[in-house]
Structure 1
Amino acid sequence: MWVTKMPRKSKSKSKSKKKKMSDDKKTLTDWISGKWIENIRKIRPPKKAKKLKLPENVHVVQELSAQELHKKIHELTRKLTKDILTKGEVNFEIPTRSAGNVIYDEVNDLLLLGNKTFTRSLLSLRSARESAMTMRVLELIHYLIEENIHATKREVYYNDPALFKEQSNSDSIIEDIAALMATPRDSLHVVAAAKGAVIGRLKFKEGGDEIDCTKQGTGGKSITPFIDTITDIESDAEFILIVEKDAAFLRLAEDRFYNKYPSIIVTGKGQPDIATRMFVKKLQRELRLPVLGFVDSDPYGMKILLVYSIGSKRLSYETMFLATPDIKWLGVLPSDLDKYNIPKSARLKMTPADIKTGKLLLKEPFIARRKKWARELSLMVQTKTKAEIQALASHGFRFLTQEYLPQKLETADWI
């Protein structure tokens, strides 16, 4: 067994030990050479995560057990029943999830939901249908909790398509209820289909089954939407590498990059889903490893990295459970295009929409505080040039794994 056993959430104390790798009987230290290992360890997060102090004007969300949520649903139901009997009305006070109620917490570098709410009334013609859908979804969630099972958002929709009309309606209600219950959506036992994948020096149990991420071929292990079933995480990796594109992930997997540079490689295959973000968060929290981001050199690549790092405005009520702080931008940096002599023919001209997105990002406070990010983004907008990760292949198929990433790691060329 090659892994280092990491601390677990148990009463017994666990000690970290380096174990020999079974494939070629080499220890981890046999692989480590050069300055890159020193560079990586300098940015390793502290062993114990600091407790965040949130602003007073935010909507506080916490994980709830099935029993706690079950009790909370019953309390809400009793209140609604009492309101019908005494006031003749049924009102839901739901946190507003619009962009106008999203707060950027500069101290913790997170996008959080504010404390503004709106009233949804069953007796109002304007919101009667939304109230009926809210009550129906609450009923379905209550059933899932009592049966101790999970359901996908698609399954929730098909439980009453005549009422919901479109899945987007039931999806929105599910998010409203998560905000109303002040808990992340996975506590509701409702999940979305996941599309992310992981490969590298990582082992864990998933629903009791042992998973070895070094033995997942070149496609990697699909990330389960049931993140709460992942336990007993073990790894001897030095860092976590988030990769935007599946194509780059496959190249890293086929070349076994994670063996020469002990790492865990994760891809969300574009814009990451909730499960992938929760998975990265869980790995970083339990293993205390630095996280590096590898995305396209365009405004959308930067936005993807920010979603991982500070959260998204749409799901700001879940940021505390999704965001992985202090992710380093490894590449592809706009300045890398000249530094690594990427041919002009492999670069792309930014569209007016790209330029507009880049300029809007430059006005955001979370970009302003990342001065090096802002300089790179400004360079991109000024040159009106972008590039995909695959542009590196203009120097050869293995330039990514044999030249570009090794040099970036060796010189600590991240921001």
Structure 2
Amino acid sequence: MEDLGRSSMRFFSDQRICYADILPPNEARARIEVAVLNFLRILNSRDPAISSLPLVNRKWSNSRVSKGLLTDVSRIFLCRSFCIRSLMRVKATKAFVRVWKVMEMCFRILIQEKRVTQRELFYLLICDSPEYFSSQLEVNRTIQDVVALLQCSRYSLGIMASSRGIVAGRLLLQEPNQEVVDCSACGSSGYTISGDLNLIQTLILKTDARYIIVVEKHAIFQRLLEDGISNHIPSIIITAKGYPDIATRFLLHRMSSKFPGMPILALVDWNPAGLAILCTFKYGSIGMGLEAYRYACNVKWVGLRRDDLHLVPEQALIPLKPRDLQIAKSLMSSEVLQDEYREELASMIESGQRAEIEALFFHGYDYLGKYIAKKVVQANYI
């Protein structure tokens, strides 16, 4: 225990560490204990004071993009800039208390050797401290505050990822001591991805696929499977049904590590939201703060692209909405966006229009598979 305490004390004194560690429960508990002891030590000093909580700043201005020496994957990291939560600031008072409440609840969960989803944690907290928690968003933000303070992953704190993702195609999955699941036999429903990141980490993965295809929308995912895309193009198909959740990103990251060199191709709408989804898979998200880098993969944008707009009927083009322009502005201000993506985004803004994948059905319901096959050939992924 003494070594564990020393390790945690070194952690709190080392501001160079700006990523979230994956810790066993005993060390995660030790970091919470050290945070509490530091707080009490300041309160009981000769000049007692209410200490502030130094949190790694989770803003784009504090991010940088790092590219590995032996890989094409770029990832988002956070730099050595800190913000604080303090009782001395009126607007931050409740946020300060919420951090301690979430840490307390996580400590209980770890002691009981349990895991909870963010939604379950929300209900635990509103029942325990309704005066401090009124929405899921407050809980989600506070979880990120705790991650930024303790610099360990949410999973280390006993918080599971909620998963919307499904996977299908030429992939065999096997949980330890369980039967093999053939994802090609799951039909258009696919295999539901677990929110248990430890289970995803221990999955045995096998495939004879040559590509992984990431699809933005569930309806497109089902259409591709109904058209037998994984047989025509030997592939694994995966979707998060919109903005990617952690579990789906983690499984994709695991597959990219297990099958290095296998192209990961993204099929998203030609609009700012589609590009944001692709970038989240490719680089990680600043919203994930210190955990962003763990889920990055070298995803390639296969479509829709501006060169494909001639395939979309003019009447199927949709005007950009204010929300689209807001997302576009955020992406443009990010250093993570590579030049060709920035040009695509500029074209969207200049045209004032967006195109959705479903517009390709103008050429027939079976056209999407042909479109992907053509793009794969054009991109020299064969």
Both proteins in one fold, TM over 0.5: yes
**Does the Cα contact within 8 Å between 1:58 and 1:103 map onto a contact in 2?**
no
2:48 is matched with: 88
Alpha-carbon distance in 1 for matches of 2:372, 2:162? 31
Which letter does structure 1 place at the counterpart of 2:360? L
Moved more, 104-113 or 237-246: 104-113
RMSD over aligned Cα atoms: 2.6
In structure 2, the residue corresponding to 1:314 is in which secondary structure? helix
Which residues of structure 2 form unaligned runs of 5+? 1-14
Question: Are positions 1:75 and 2:44 aligned together?
Answer: no
Alpha-carbon distance in 1 for matches of 2:146, 2:322? 38
Which letter does structure 1 place at the counterpart of 2:99? T
1:143: Cα distance to partner?
1.9
Alpha-carbon distance in 2 for matches of 1:270, 1:404? 21
What CA deviation, in whole Å up to 9, does each residue of 1:99-137 have, x standing for no partner? 433334477733322222233345765544333322221
1:360: Cα distance to partner?
5.9
1:281 is matched with: 253
2:58 is matched with: 97
Alpha-carbon distance in 1 for matches of 2:377, 2:107? 53
1:118 is matched with: 83
In structure 2, the residue corresponding to 1:240 is in which secondary structure? strand
**Does the Cα contact within 8 Å between 2:54 and 2:84 map onto a contact in 1?**
yes
1:239 is matched with: 211
**Relative to 1, partners in 2 of residues 1:209 and 1:122: Cα closer, same or farther, differing over 3 Å?**
farther
1:142: Cα distance to partner?
1.3
**Does the Cα contact within 8 Å between 2:161 and 2:196 map onto a contact in 1?**
no
Q: Percent identity?
A: 29
Question: Are positions 1:268 and 2:240 aligned together?
Answer: yes
Query: What are the equivalent positions in structure 2 for 1:175-190 lying under 5 Å apart?
Result: 175-190=144-159
1:241: Cα distance to partner?
0.8
In structure 2, the residue corresponding to 1:335 is in which secondary structure? helix
Alpha-carbon distance in 2 for matches of 1:140, 1:390? 45
Query: What are the equivalent positions in structure 2 for 1:149-160 lying under 5 Å apart?
Result: 149-160=114-125
What is the aligned counterpart of 2:317 among 339, 347, 363?
347
**Does the Cα contact within 8 Å between 2:283 and 2:293 map onto a contact in 1?**
no
Question: Are positions 1:302 and 2:272 aligned together?
Answer: no
Which residues of structure 1 form unaligned runs of 5+? 1-55
1:77: Cα distance to partner?
2.5
Alpha-carbon distance in 1 for matches of 2:295, 2:155? 11
In structure 2, the residue corresponding to 1:251 is in which secondary structure? helix
1:171: Cα distance to partner?
1.8
2:6 is matched with: none
TM-score, reference length from structure 1 = 0.77
**Does the Cα contact within 8 Å between 2:272 and 2:327 map onto a contact in 1?**
yes
Question: Are positions 1:389 and 2:348 aligned together?
Answer: no
Moved more, 242-251 or 60-69: 60-69
1:226: Cα distance to partner?
0.7
Alpha-carbon distance in 2 for matches of 1:60, 1:302? 25
| Bigger helix share | 2
Alpha-carbon distance in 2 for matches of 1:306, 1:127? 31
Question: Are positions 1:321 and 2:294 aligned together?
Answer: yes
State the number of aligned residues: 353
What is the aligned counterpart of 1:170 among 125, 139, 146?
139
In structure 2, the residue corresponding to 1:93 is in which secondary structure? strand
What CA deviation, in whole Å up to 9, does each residue of 1:266-288 have, x standing for no partner? 11111111221122112112222
**Does the Cα contact within 8 Å between 2:66 and 2:74 map onto a contact in 1?**
yes
**Relative to 1, partners in 2 of residues 1:58 and 1:379: Cα closer, same or farther, differing over 3 Å?**
farther
Which letter does structure 2 place at the counterpart of 1:227? L
- Between the two structures, name the one with larger relative contact order (CA 8 Å, sep ≥ 6): 1
2:367 is matched with: 399
**Relative to 1, partners in 2 of residues 1:413 and 1:220: Cα closer, same or farther, differing over 3 Å?**
same
1:332: Cα distance to partner?
0.9
**Relative to 1, partners in 2 of residues 1:374 and 1:138: Cα closer, same or farther, differing over 3 Å?**
closer
1:145 is matched with: 110
2:339 is matched with: 371
Question: Are positions 1:201 and 2:152 aligned together?
Answer: no
**Relative to 1, partners in 2 of residues 1:364 and 1:164: Cα closer, same or farther, differing over 3 Å?**
closer
In structure 2, the residue corresponding to 1:112 is in which secondary structure? strand
1:334 is matched with: 306
